[in-house]
């Protein structure tokens, strides 16, 4: 259930009064504790919440942080009837959702996404997890939240990079939906955002994901569409972590979209002009991820660990046209290297 809020404190109070729980926990990271928590502190039920604060950024999306959250809930008397509120970006909602899914074999949780990325992607759809062994979201579970409270006032707390990061997932949803939505996203001014217009676009973007997830909650078929850009994007993200220069998830997805739209044009007939338009938008707003031919082996190896793969075959979601999906697409190693050549040489 997604609730679009005009008065988040009122909406949260009403929601909490409708749920049965014996102990309330509020998970934030060091940034959202300072920047975002004050926006909900007047919600009276939160006066009894046990606060858990974890490190910020994807660096802390790991087993050690997960253990910290479990320990804090256990030491504060958490039971299987407790409730966890995750207030933060995708790292907080992913890790917090997995902590809730696994603590006492599963407790209820609510997501309050505070970044554009978490609003349109991480907080919606029931995927939870942590990074492990150098791989993105390697450990996790499917677990739906009781509700997702979306209040775009939080977007005004974001810097330009985090706004762009979330917008990459919106661009992906637009490519999956139709030409009207795709064109709207390519003409939006990310450098001088119109927040009123963005609020409507966020609702449209969430609706695309909700529709896909409702038809395929556990990624047996259609939900694989949401992996557009992610096979390559996750490999770029893993390479950046290995270099100890982590990148924002949405930037990796944007770069992955540029690569996989090229692969779509090469293999499934995606129109070259639309590929070029989209790639140019990505270059203008996201720059490029620095790679050389020497990185191809590592990138390919990261792709072989992707959770979508079957029997070791690398699996892509490609498009034949905006809105026309080609699920379970495969590419030979030489085709993947050709794709990386295209990207490395300036798209």
Question: pLDDT by residue (tens digit) across 278-336?
Answer: 999 999 999 999 999 999 999 999 999 876 777 677 889 999 999 999 998 999 999 99
Any idea where the domains of the chain sit in the sequence?
A: 2-157, 212-344
Residue 260 CA to residue 329 CA, distance in Å, equals 11
How big, in percent rounded to 5, are the helix, strand and coil portions of the chain? 55, 15, 25
Average pLDDT over residues 133-144: 84
pLDDT of residue 122: 65
Average pLDDT over residues 227-252: 92
Confidence of residue 5 (pLDDT cuts 50, 70, 90): confident
Residue 214 CA to residue 322 CA, distance in Å, equals 21
Same CATH fold assignment for domains 2-157 and 212-344: no
Average pLDDT over residues 162-171: 95
Is this prediction's pTM over 0.75?
A: yes
| Six-digit token string for 87 | 């207030």
Residue 290 CA to residue 181 CA, distance in Å, equals 30
DSSP E strands in the chain: the ranges are 2-4, 24-29, 50-54, 83-88, 108-113, 127-132, 135-142, 147-150, 315-321, 324-330
Least confident window among 82-86, 266-270, 302-306, 339-343: 302-306
pLDDT of residue 126: 75
Q: Does 123 have pLDDT greater than 80?
A: no
CA distances from 325 to 196, 274, 304, 316 (A): 31, 15, 22, 11
Pick the CATH number of 212-344 from 1.20.1090.10, 2.30.110.10, 3.90.1150.10, 3.40.50.300: 1.20.1090.10
Between strands 315-321 and 324-330, the pairing is: antiparallel
Chain segment 56-114, per-residue pLDDT in tens: 988 899 999 999 999 999 999 999 999 999 999 989 999 999 999 999 999 999 999 99
CATH class of segment(s) 2-157: alpha beta
Tell me how crowded residue 323 is: count the other CB atoms within 10 A of its CB.
15
């Amino acid at each position: 259930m997604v609730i679009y809020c005009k008065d988040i404190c009122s909406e949260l109070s009403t929601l909490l009064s409708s749920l049965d729980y014996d102990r309330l926990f509020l998970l934030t990271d060091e940034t959202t504790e300072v920047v975002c928590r004050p926006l909900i502190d007047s919600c009276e039920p939160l006066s009894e919440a046990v606060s858990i604060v974890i490190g910020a950024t994807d660096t802390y999306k790991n087993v050690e942080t997960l253990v910290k959250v479990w320990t804090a809930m256990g030491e504060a008397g958490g039971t299987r009837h407790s409730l966890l509120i995750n207030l933060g970006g995708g790292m907080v909602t992913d890790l917090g959702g997995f902590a809730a899914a696994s603590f006492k074999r599963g407790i209820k949780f609510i997501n309050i996404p505070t970044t554009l990325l978490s609003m349109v992607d991480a907080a919606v759809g029931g995927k939870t997890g942590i990074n492990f062994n150098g791989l993105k979201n390697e450990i996790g579970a499917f677990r739906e939240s009781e509700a997702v409270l979306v209040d775009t006032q939080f977007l005004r707390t974001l810097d330009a990079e985090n706004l762009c990061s979330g917008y990459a997932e919106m661009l992906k949803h637009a490519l999956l939906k139709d030409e009207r939505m795709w064109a709207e996203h390519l003409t939006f001014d990310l450098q001088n955002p119109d927040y009123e217009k963005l609020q409507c676009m966020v609702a449209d973007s969430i609706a695309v994901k909700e529709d896909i997830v409702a038809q395929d909650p556990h990624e047996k078929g259609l939900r694989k569409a949401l992996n557009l850009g992610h096979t390559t994007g996750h490999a770029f993200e893993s390479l950046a972590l290995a270099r100890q220069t982590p990148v924002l998830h949405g930037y990796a997805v944007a770069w992955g979209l540029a690569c996989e739209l090229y692969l779509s044009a090469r293999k499934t007939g995606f129109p070259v002009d639309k590929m070029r338009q989209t790639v140019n938008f990505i270059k203008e707003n996201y720059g490029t991820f620095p790679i050389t031919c020497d990185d191809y082996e590592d990138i390919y190896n990261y792709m072989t660990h992707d959770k979508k793969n079957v029997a070791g075959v690398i699996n892509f979601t490609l498009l034949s046209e905006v809105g026309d999906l080609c699920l379970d697409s495969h590419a030979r190693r030489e085709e993947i290297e050709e794709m990386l050549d295209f990207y490395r040489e300036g798209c």
